[in-house]
């Protein structure tokens, strides 16, 4: 019985480490995309959404990646950043987005000067 419990705990630790590695890679990927978008004037919602690495309180290992709105501190799933941005920022759900200066890409187009 003890051998079975030891085997189960090794498998559990291995699964936790694999999940931690996956979360860490996702976090690093989102940071890279965010930094590139900000630096190269890419998709402008990244200036307001910051990736967060959430750790397991028991093991201290990374367990998930979330996105935090820097304007209101709301936290969201990182599974689809584009959808998060459109729902939270563009549709007016963020209470502080309208009072902040809107990035050029979210402003309505200027009428053509003739």
pTM tops 0.85, yes or no: no
**Looking at the domain assignment, is residue 78 inside a domain?**
yes
Check residue 83 and give its pLDDT.
86
**Looking at the domain assignment, is residue 94 inside a domain?**
yes
Candidates 65, 97, 61, 98; CA nearest to 80 is 65
pLDDT band (50, 70, 90) for residue 90: confident
Is a pLDDT exceeding 60 seen at residue 53? yes
Number of residues in the chain: 114
User: What domain range is 23 assigned to?
Assistant: 2-100
Q: How many CA atoms lie within 13 A of 83 on its CB side?
A: 5
**Looking at the domain assignment, is residue 110 inside a domain?**
no
% of the chain beyond a pLDDT of 70: 75
Alpha helices in the chain (DSSP H): 2-39, 81-85
Phi, psi dihedral angles at 54 (to 5 degrees): -95, 130
How many distinct structural domains can be found in the chain? 1
**Looking at the domain assignment, is residue 74 inside a domain?**
yes
**Looking at the domain assignment, is residue 106 inside a domain?**
no
**Looking at the domain assignment, is residue 14 inside a domain?**
yes
């Amino acid at each position: 019985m003890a051998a079975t419990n030891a085997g189960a705990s090794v498998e559990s630790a291995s699964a936790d480490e694999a999940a931690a590695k996956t979360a860490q890679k996702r976090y690093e990927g989102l940071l890279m995309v965010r930094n590139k978008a900000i630096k190269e004037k890419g998709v402008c919602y990244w200036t307001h959404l910051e990736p967060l690495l959430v750790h397991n309180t028991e093991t201290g290992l990374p367990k998930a990646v979330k996105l935090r709105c820097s304007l209101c501190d709301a936290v969201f799933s990182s599974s689809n950043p584009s959808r998060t941005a459109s729902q939270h920022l563009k549709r007016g759900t963020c209470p502080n987005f309208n009072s902040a200066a809107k990035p050029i890409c979210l402003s309505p187009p200027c009428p053509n000067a003739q």
